[in-house]
A and B are shown apart, each in its own frame.
Chain A
Amino acid sequence: MIRVLVTDDSRVMRQIVVRTLRQAGYDWDVREASDGVEALAAIKADEPDVVLSDWNMPNMTGIELLHALRAAGYQTPFGFVTSEGSPEMRAAAESAGALFLIAKPFTPEAFREVIDPVLA
């Protein structure tokens, strides 16, 4: 079973992401983190198969988390789920090593479109 770490400072949004994963057909083992700092510690303690992370969070943003992970040598597959999907952010995400960026609001179909090709 794939193990995912869902990172978002909004508990409501984490719940929506987890629900949407199930609706998209991904019966994954889910852990949650509420910001980049918490996610980094969780990944170092027990590396998941994939990280789904918000971008804009207090303490440590999603892009800072991704940079910190890569700097520490972790190649954990990483995707953003964020309220902003501008071309600049997509380019920044890609150059930092993210596999995809899902813009909120999203649908189960949007999850499958980007996750199936890289993970399933």
Chain B
Amino acid sequence: MTATVEHDQVLSIAQEVFSAMVDGDLGLLLPWEGDLPEIDDALVAWVDLHGEWSGRAVLVTAGPTALELARVLLDLDPRDEVSPDDLVDALGEIANVVGGNLKSLLPTPGTLGLPHVGDALPPLDGAVRSQHLPLSWRGRLLVIDVWVTPLVLKEKP
């Protein structure tokens, strides 16, 4: 096992999370094909990983997509209102599970922070984006990024 997280590993985790938690079926989360549209009204969910490998797992999507995700997770009718608390909870929990599964790939123990949700990603000291996965969930754009701190980058062969 290496100290890096590979693109295909992140894709595999994301697809497993959506298959088991959201869709109940494989094949509804796929790599985005074609040009990337701007994400209007973006919501960002992230969870930080601390330890010898430090970084951040990030989920970015448009507000309406986040609402749809929350509806599916909560098993709500398409016309049902989603409360702001439930929206934050749902999006944060997806980031949390993706981050937890990323952590399980790492060769050294560490800790996982609690999930956060906002309309912009706060800076993480010196971190660089190591993976960027634009994905299509039921045809809607959803981006998963992995950020890594310089300590890890220095250790890369």
A44 CB–B CB distance under 8 Å: no
Q: Is there an interface contact between B73 and A84, defined as CB atoms closer than 8 Å? A: no
Q: Is there an interface contact between A84 and B104, defined as CB atoms closer than 8 Å? A: yes
State which of A11, A85, A105 has its C-beta within 8 Å of the C-beta of B17.
A105
Give Cα A16 to B89, complex, Å.
12
Q: A16 — which chain B residues lie within 8 A by C-beta?
A: 21, 73
Q: Is there an interface contact between A12 and B90, defined as CB atoms closer than 8 Å? A: yes
B75 CB–A CB distance under 8 Å: yes
Give Cα A10 to B70, complex, Å.
12
The CB with the most chain B CB atoms within 10 A, among A86, A88, A105, A107, is that of: A105
Give Cα A58 to B114, complex, Å.
8
Q: B17 — which chain A residues lie within 8 A by C-beta?
A: 104-105
- Given A19-B75, A58-B114, A105-B16: A12 and B70 interface contact (C-beta under 8 Å): yes
Q: Residue on A with the closest CB to B20?
A: A105
Q: B100 — which chain A residues lie within 8 A by C-beta?
A: 56, 82-85, 103-104
CB distance from A37 to the nearest CB of B (A): 15
B5-46 contact mask (Cβ, 8 Å, vs A): 1 or 0 = 000000000001101110000000000000000000000000
Give Cα A88 to B89, complex, Å.
27
Q: Is there an interface contact between A83 and B96, defined as CB atoms closer than 8 Å? A: yes
The CB with the most chain B CB atoms within 10 A, among A9, A12, A82, is that of: A12
Q: Residue on A with the closest CB to B93?
A: A10
Q: Is there an interface contact between B112 and A12, defined as CB atoms closer than 8 Å? A: no
Q: Is there an interface contact between A12 and B20, defined as CB atoms closer than 8 Å? A: no
Q: Is there an interface contact between B92 and A56, defined as CB atoms closer than 8 Å? A: no
- Given A11-B86, A15-B74, A56-B112: A105 and B19 interface contact (C-beta under 8 Å): yes
Q: Is there an interface contact between A103 and B104, defined as CB atoms closer than 8 Å? A: yes
Give Cα A103 to B92, complex, Å.
17
Of the A-B pairs whose beta carbons lie under 8 Å apart in the complex, a sample of 28, sorted by A's number, is A9-B114, A10-B92, A10-B93, A10-B96, A12-B74, A12-B89, A12-B90, A15-B74, A16-B21, A19-B75, A58-B114, A82-B100, A83-B97, A83-B99, A83-B100, A84-B104, A85-B104, A86-B103, A86-B104, A88-B109, A103-B100, A103-B104, A104-B17, A104-B20, A104-B101, A105-B16, A105-B21, A105-B101
Q: Other CB < 8 Å A-B pairs besides A83-B99, A84-B112, 10 of them? A: A11-B85, A15-B74, A16-B21, A56-B100, A84-B100, A86-B109, A103-B104, A104-B17, A104-B97, A105-B17
Residues on B facing A (Cβ under 8 Å): 16-17, 19-21, 70, 73-75, 85-86, 89-90, 92-93, 96-97, 99-101, 103-104, 109, 112, 114
